[in-house]
Amino acid sequence: MPPAPEQILSDLVRIDSTNPPGNEYAVAEYLKKLFENTGANIKIVEPEKGRSSFIARLGSGSKKLLYLSHSDVVPAGDGWDFEPFSGEIKDGVVHGRGSLDCKDLLAAQVSSALQLIEENSSLQGELIIAAVADEEAGGRLGAGYLTDKHSDLIEADYAVNEGADHPIILDGRMLYFLQVGEKGTAWCKLKAHGKSGHGSIPTLADNAVVKISRAVSRLNNYRSEVILIPEVKKLLKNLANLSGVKIDSIEPDQVDELLEQLPFDRSFLESLRSMTRMTLSPNIISGGTKTNIVPDYCEAEIDIRILPGQDCEYVESELRLIISKDIEIEFTEYRAPTFSSSNEKFYKLMEETTLEMAGAKALCLPIISAGSTDSKYIRSAGIPAYGVGHMAEGFDPELRTTVHGRNERTDIDSLHFKTEFFKKLARKYLS
């Protein structure tokens, strides 16, 4: 018998894989032992010392399903009510850093595979379990390295990863989310040049700080074009109807008005809003050296997040509409948005599996994330990837706030729910 999922999660939490430095090798070694003598094909890939990703493959056949998670965690920080790496199991809860992001997912995926082996399930295809390093620092040494250098190890028809919000309860129904896309980043620097001079006679000079502040103020007044990806339209329509807001179809110019009427907390509403448009946030301004010198240079750094379908060209053309010509635009970091359609059969299978478990009253809806996960690498490698954040009925919605925060923990019921979900899904797809 394989260990219970909560035991695996507890063991994983006790392995401190805080990134930096990561030390994911210890997780990989632990997983290797779990899969010993199971007949699974094991590979550990280590691009840099200690930064290991673990891959187990079971079954054989042409169909391939990838279960992806990451084995590193963010630093715990101070102020916890319990020891962050205790992994203590108490009162139906597993305690510690990583228990929701995302060693729980890892434990559930691994448990589902071990249980399938134990039950002698004959899979008509391959199930690939990948617990990869470095996600919390961008994933270059984990999913990035694998897709780049060892794509054969994780090549699959579909992937399931982290990335969806936890379910919400609306009108007595559990709403589960399936993440189908992630926004991209198009960070840029606005650069203004002017003419230096003495601060006592500023009219002789040309002030670069003033130019940038004008540009930033225009950015602040800019209203991004609302774009409704069909999946987001479906999400909004369902949320509206379940909230008692009668609406037949949603057009872009109705979105903000609709959001006003939805009965959700601010953080959920704003995350919905972010799924409908590019966002711009001017976060750093640097310029000037002395109070009595008119500055001849100033720059502003803008965090811009774009929707699937948008790119640098789009950003630049929008910026050019609002910012004067003499200000230079330089892109400092670009990561394309990624998207996997909800029209795929596999998406329907995930939906079907979720509803089978959660009951007919539950509902599954697609979402787009403002942030990103390793799915960006997987999707860019041509594998449709979907994010889940499944929890069992009765879970504490407050748990969400412990991710990357203090007192991270998860309930065992949700862990079992996830394990069962992955088991059923693998059986369905690989049959």
Q: Hey, is 301 helix, strand or coil?
A: strand
CB of 70 to Zn ion, least distance (A): 6
d(CA 300, CA 189) in angstroms, rounded, equals 6
Please report which helix (H) or strand (E) contains residue 231, including its range: helix 230-242
Q: What is the largest CA-CA distance in the chain?
A: 85
d(CA 98, CA 74) in angstroms, rounded, equals 8
Among the residue ranges 78-86, 99-107, 204-212, 387-395, the one whose residues contact Zn ion (CB under 5 A): 99-107
- If the CB atoms of residues 69 and 340 are measured against Zn ion, the closer one turns out to be 69
Choice from 24, 101, 134, 157 touching Zn ion (CB under 5 A)? 101
Residue 20: C-alpha distances to residues 80, 88, 102 (Å): 20, 24, 16
Among the residue ranges 97-105, 263-271, 316-324, 350-358, the one whose residues contact Zn ion (CB under 5 A): 97-105
Q: Hey, is 370 helix, strand or coil?
A: coil
- If the CB atoms of residues 59 and 389 are measured against Zn ion, the closer one turns out to be 389
- If the CB atoms of residues 167 and 295 are measured against Zn ion, the closer one turns out to be 167
Among the residue ranges 35-43, 95-103, 176-184, 275-283, the one whose residues contact Zn ion (CB under 5 A): 95-103
Choice from 102, 106, 180, 278 touching Zn ion (CB under 5 A)? 102
Site string for Zn ion, 123-162 (x = CB under 5 A): ---------------------------------------x
- If the CB atoms of residues 100 and 363 are measured against Zn ion, the closer one turns out to be 100
- If the CB atoms of residues 134 and 296 are measured against Zn ion, the closer one turns out to be 134
Query: Is the C-alpha dihedral spanning 398, 403, 405, 408 positive or negative?
Result: positive
312 cis-preceded (ω within 30 degrees of 0): no
Among the residue ranges 3-11, 96-104, 175-183, 208-216, the one whose residues contact Zn ion (CB under 5 A): 96-104
- Phi and psi at 403, nearest 5°, equal -65, 125
Tokens of 102: 């995302």
- If the CB atoms of residues 74 and 365 are measured against Zn ion, the closer one turns out to be 74
**Which residues, numbered 159-198, are part of the site for Zn ion (CB under 5 A)?**
162
Tokens of 418: 């996830």
190 touches 325 (CB < 8 A): no
The verdict on 318 binding Zn ion (CB under 5 A) reads: no
- Chain residues binding Zn ion by CB under 5 A are 101-102, 162
